[in-house]
Amino acid sequence: MSETPQKRSGPALNIALFLITLLTVFTAGSGIQMLIEYTMLTGKSVPSSAWSDSVTNGLAYMTTLMGILLAHEFGHYTMARLNKVDASLPYFIPAPYPMLLGTFGALIVMRGRIRSRNALMEVGAAGPLAGMIVAVPALFLGLSLSPVEPIPAQGLMEGQSILYMFIKWVVVGSIPEGHDVILHPIAWAGWVGLLVTMLNLFPIGQLDGGHIFYALFGDIHARVSRLFHRSLFVLGFGVMGYEAWNAVNRGMIGEDIFLSSLPGLQWIFLGGLLALFHRRRGFKHPPTDDDTLSPTHRGIGILCIVIFVLIFMPVVLRPII
């Protein structure tokens, strides 16, 4: 979510981006592209059942993930409208193959600034809370459909957060060593929903977490925002070093050590992206006219901080080597 003056335009662009994002998310969840590549490389035909499963998986992933993102963005949009803040419809951002998730999320544009801290809290927190209301049940459902199997020799391991591990334990129970849950598309979409919420709740700039932090603590926002932004690079290099050290201790050499350290680059990339996004306005938050924050709104802000802690994952995706 961003706040900037902008000329009014019709919904044509919003609708077009939404439809394109539906396609890229479907493609990411279906695996159809891999079937096409397999056919082209080997010349062998793929069984019709595999194509059917791909379509089913793509629809399950697309419906779940887009439901989470729609809940998130329309949480912002609804609260903005209720607080008489002029806000755009969501702009969805497609991420075509080979991007793994199919989308970079979405944003709304607010024209003008939010004038009270209570309103700022409502608009900032509504998105993450609405998204979580959809993502958590999706995780429960998806994990109940996910088999426990031996960890494959190659692939990617999803990041683990406190909440995700707890839900997995509740649904699946104890998992034998050397095994893990092979995520159903609905579970994968639920996990992505947690990831999107986590990234938005960082108290940086005008991310959702930045709005919430400013509403809670006011002018120290800019200093804390810069500190958290720098911490992304520290975390990135720290994860790279830790994973590389583990790889060396496991007897890996050369390219495998580099591949093991890749999870750290995810944080460095995010830090660079946020630096680019904030290069003009910096990390300072636009002020509000009313600095009063009610106890209820303060409680909402604290709840969002607790959620951020529970869904934070230091490693987002780790290659299996």
How far apart (Å, rounded) are the C-alpha atoms in residues 120 and 300? 12
Interval 100-124: pLDDT, tens:
899 999 999 888 778 899 999 999 9
Closest CA to 182 of 157, 211, 208: 157
Give the CA radius of gyration of the chain. Answer: 21
pLDDT, residue 5, reads 43
Distance CA 18, CA 24 (A): 10
Tokens coding 281:
């306005």
* Separation CA 34–CA 39 (nearest Å): 9
Tell me the pLDDT tens digit for each residue of 1-37: 544 444 566 799 999 999 999 999 999 999 877 777 6
Question: Does 136 score more than 70 pLDDT?
Answer: yes
User: Minimal CA–CA distance to 1: which of 76, 68, 71?
Assistant: 76
Please tell me the total number of residues recorded for the chain in this structure: 321
pTM, entire model = 0.91
- For 119-147, what is the mean pLDDT? 97
The domain limits of the chain are: 2-320
Instruction: Compute the average pLDDT of residues 256-268.
Output: 88
Q: In whole angstroms, give the CA distance from residue 139 to residue 164.
A: 8
Task: Tell me phi and psi for residue 317, to 5 degrees.
Answer: -135, 130
| pLDDT tens readout for residues 196-213 | 999 999 999 989 999 999
Distance of CA 155 to the CA centre of its chain: 20
pLDDT single digits (tens) 153-200: 888 899 999 999 999 999 999 999 989 999 999 999 999 999 999 999
For residues 216, 220, 221 and 224, what is the CA-based torsion angle, rounded to 10 degrees?
A: -120
Q: Output DSSP code: residue 220.
A: G
Which of 225, 223, 241, 9 lies closest to 109 in space, CA to CA? Answer: 9
Q: What is the pLDDT of residue 57?
A: 94
CB neighbours of residue 48 within 10 Å: 8
DSSP 134-172: HHHHHHHHHHHTPPEEEPPSSEEEE---HHHHHHHHHHH
Q: Residue 197 is encoded by which pair of tokens?
A: 């919420």
